[in-house]
Structure 1
Amino acid sequence: MPLHNSAARYGSAAKILHWLTAAGIMVMIPLGIIANGAPQDGPDALAWKVQLFSAHKTLGIAVFAVAVLRIVWAMSQPKPAPLHPDRMLEHFAAETVHKLLYGSLLLVPISGWIEHAATSGFAPILWPLGQNLPFVPQSPELAEIAAAMHIIFERVLVISLILHIGGALKHAVWDRDQTLARMLPGETHTLTVPKPHEPLGLKPVVAALVVWIGAIGIGAGLGLFAKHPAAAPAELAQVASDWNVESGAIDLTVQQFGNAVSGQFSDWTAAIRYEPEGDDADLGQVDVEIAIASVSLGSVTAQALGGDYFDAAKFPTARFTATLSRVDGVHQASGTLTLRGQDVPVAFPFELTLDGNTATMTGMVTLDRRAFGIGEAMQDAGQLGFAVDVALSLTATRP
């Protein structure tokens, strides 16, 4: 069979790419539905859900690559002429559906890929090329928008696919013509090229754009773009401090299924008493209170706040009280971290830079989540790492 298309039939390359794409779609969409509905109560169920989503994402990238190749190939080839050029409405509808299929085959995986790249955690793409995308920042808001677009475009793809299959069956069963046969494997009866038909120009493209825009509008009307309400963090009381925190961040990183998941607490207070010229054994004290529900941890934020993990509903705050000291020139905050009802001794080394009445500090400590009863059911470090890296940075000024 010839590799290239002619005015009467599709070549072998077009057929192979067509059926590879079809097979990918037929597996990818059900796989996504099954993954989305899979339970995650318990380590084994969660691990299975992650595997399903990883397979769905990886297959989606593969389908995207095949679709791009198929579109590029189609643009370089003559398209077999319609067998019924006099049926202009039918021809227009078929071309519009083809444009919807081609476009959706790009938009569905791209939107899913952006959602994946904009947030960390949960179900990596199974390849060695990294999980991020250029120019796509880590942003929960962008991830939610991309997730909504992914759902909308997937619905358009499914409807277009149903119409496409319906049209092919109509030609095969009702019209009894060679439209479907031209795309089936093997040699195809050579058809007489129909008379030239009136070109449709950009009309199918415009129609497809209208459908996509309309679908986005419907999705917005159904609330797909509505921001999911997060749990309200605990109200933290104002604190009296010798040093006023001007800016700062409490970041945390944990390994989940072999991938780093990073996030931070956005709401916290720090009462600081520090005397640079004081006794090295007691330079002052620090009292940090953290609103647990203010955590952002990528796609697993809601899971992290649940009863098996931080249990923010029962334990809305965490507290670190410590004495500040200096040992061999290295500053350290030694005290107790109270988290999830557990009191655990913690020594937190940090670097401090003083510039007049402005102090800048950075430090990191590694905690064991098991000491606080976090994720007790997850006893496999390969699924959820035991070590959690906590980094603190702040700039404070003394009046």
Structure 2
Amino acid sequence: MLSNTPTSYGTLARAFHWLVALLILSAIALGLYGESLPRNAETIDTLKTLYSAHKTIGVAAFFTALARILWALVQPRPTPLHPERRLETFGAELVHWALYGAMLVMPASGWISHAAQAGFAPILWPFGQTLPFVPQSDAVSHGAEIVHKLSALVLYAALALHVLGALKHVVIDRDATLARMTRGTAAGPGKADHSALAPLLAVVIWAAVISFALLVPLPDEEGAAPTAVATAPATPSAAAPASTAGNWQVTQGTLGFTVKQMGAEVSGSLPNWTADIAYDEATGTGTVTVTIDTTTLVLGSVSDQAKGADFFDTAAHPSATFTAAIARTEGTAHTATGTLTLRGTEVPVVLPFTLTIEGDTATMSGQTTLDRRAFGMGASYPDEATVGFNVGVQIALTATRKD
């Protein structure tokens, strides 16, 4: 019989139960195995396959769980076998509703994180890589990723309690609780009240988990403080030395970069940097020194990998420096010609940019292309199949004249 009764689960409910369990456990196993593997050229293809399967199965689990929950809402719920054990029954129902939430929140948050940050390991057909109303945003991707990780903890706890409860009914109580879900065995009094508090408390738990996750800031981007200032912060550090040079004070700015990963363009940023700028409007010449805190690098889901020894190596080289001479070429067009020191390697760099000055406010934007190999980056990725050679760099800032 497809439908439930007050004392048994129907064929469809049982099929949904075991199918969702299979999909979720498979996705968890693939994700944990992927996390255990090193990130290098030898494992990149394996990781891509693992995470593509993990994401695809997770999305499939979401739709299957949604169908299961909708079916459960229109079906009678078999009553507990021991309704007189009120505390035990309440705990079982709370775990049950927490699991329902995990089956939706965990895969949905993973899908949102993927859709908000294009990059590694695509979701396989028939599911797309984007979602309606989900923008391409590091902040959205980060928030969804934190929800995904926290919901995994709730899922693990609820699964463990669910399995332990089932084992208790088999080994200690020796009743038909598990048999109702495996064979459709009819058992129980048939009449009992289900707790209205259990689903409400589960909603509160999930609201708290999601709210907490969304309050976790992006690494080193905690609010609306300017992303660049022309002098050091109140407490100088090795990555941002104190300086009072220059006649222009940067009030806001961005330093971003793009690189191709597995053929897809991925955007990153270096949010913490300082700039000492000296510029003479009359001659169109000047100098600039930019100090970049590479430990604050953000590159979607591979930020930690990008900070590793094979790329920026931030443990050994926590800062980078660009020192250049500024020259006006024509109109608002300028160049900054100098040296970029990154990973302890000095490379000549020319940065074309435009500069407009209105009163005491200057606006600048420029971009250039660097080759990661010039800095010894990605030596274990000798071709562009996984990580592209060219890295596009974009910088924009607004500065005010110093008194």
Q: 2:372 aligns with which of 347, 360, 369?
A: 369
Which residue identity lines up with residue 36 of structure 1 in the other structure? E
Asked if residue 159 in structure 1 is aligned to residue 164 in structure 2, the reply is no
TM-score under structure 2 normalisation?
A: 0.78
The 1:287–1:90 alpha-carbon spacing in structure 2 relative to 1, beyond 3 Å, is closer
Please say which of residues 287-296 and 321-330 is displaced more in the overlay.
321-330
1:239 CA drift (Å): 4.1
- Tell me what 2:23 maps to: 24
* Identical-pair percentage: 40
* CA deviation map 1:347-372 (0-9, x unaligned): 22222222123211111112111111
The 1:81–1:153 alpha-carbon spacing in structure 2 relative to 1, beyond 3 Å, is closer
- Tell me what 2:138 maps to: 138
- Tell me what 1:311 maps to: 313
Return the alpha-carbon distance in structure 2 between the equivalents of residues 245 and 227 of structure 1.
22
SS of the aligned residue for 1:51 comes to helix
1:194 CA drift (Å): 6.2
Native 8 Å contact 2:114 2:129 kept in 1: no
Native 8 Å contact 2:372 2:378 kept in 1: yes
1:181 CA drift (Å): 4.8
Return the alpha-carbon distance in structure 1 between the equivalents of residues 313 and 274 of structure 2.
20
The 1:323–1:75 alpha-carbon spacing in structure 2 relative to 1, beyond 3 Å, is same
- Tell me what 1:322 maps to: 325
Return the alpha-carbon distance in structure 2 between the equivalents of residues 131 and 340 of structure 1.
38
Native 8 Å contact 2:13 2:72 kept in 1: yes
Aligned 1:107-256 pairs, distance under 5 A? 107-113=105-111, 122-126=120-124, 127-130=127-130, 134=134, 138-139=138-139, 142=143, 145-146=146-147, 148-163=149-164, 165-166=166-167, 169=170, 174-175=174-175, 177=176, 179-184=177-182, 196-205=190-199, 208=202, 234-256=239-261
Native 8 Å contact 2:289 2:321 kept in 1: no
1:263 CA drift (Å): 2.5
Return the alpha-carbon distance in structure 1 between the equivalents of residues 334 and 206 of structure 2.
58
Bigger Rg over Cα: 1
1:142 CA drift (Å): 3.6
Which residue identity lines up with residue 357 of structure 1 in the other structure? D
Which residue identity lines up with residue 273 of structure 1 in the other structure? A
- Tell me what 1:391 maps to: 394
Asked if residue 14 in structure 1 is aligned to residue 8 in structure 2, the reply is no
SS of the aligned residue for 2:349 comes to strand
* CA deviation map 1:233-288 (0-9, x unaligned): 6232314113222221111122223343322223323233333443xxx6333332
- The answer for unaligned runs of 5 or more in structure 1 is none
Native 8 Å contact 1:249 1:266 kept in 2: yes
- Tell me what 1:294 maps to: 296
Return the alpha-carbon distance in structure 1 between the equivalents of residues 219 and 339 of structure 2.
34
Native 8 Å contact 1:363 1:391 kept in 2: yes
Return the alpha-carbon distance in structure 1 between the equivalents of residues 105 and 307 of structure 2.
32
1:124 CA drift (Å): 4.6
Return the alpha-carbon distance in structure 2 between the equivalents of residues 302 and 253 of structure 1.
16
* CA deviation map 1:15-47 (0-9, x unaligned): 33222102112312222221222222x212244
- Tell me what 2:231 maps to: none
Native 8 Å contact 2:65 2:103 kept in 1: yes
- Tell me what 1:343 maps to: 346
SS of the aligned residue for 1:251 comes to strand
1:72 CA drift (Å): 0.8
Native 8 Å contact 2:95 2:158 kept in 1: no
- The answer for unaligned runs of 5 or more in structure 2 is 222-236
- Tell me what 1:260 maps to: 265
Return the alpha-carbon distance in structure 2 between the equivalents of residues 35 and 311 of structure 1.
22
Which residue identity lines up with residue 335 of structure 1 in the other structure? G
Which residue identity lines up with residue 166 of structure 1 in the other structure? L
Q: 1:73 aligns with which of 71, 74, 77?
A: 71
Aligned 1:89-108 pairs, distance under 5 A? 91-108=89-106
The 1:93–1:154 alpha-carbon spacing in structure 2 relative to 1, beyond 3 Å, is closer
1:202 CA drift (Å): 1.0
SS of the aligned residue for 2:155 comes to helix
1:81 CA drift (Å): 4.5
Please say which of residues 76-85 and 150-159 is displaced more in the overlay.
76-85
Native 8 Å contact 2:369 2:392 kept in 1: yes
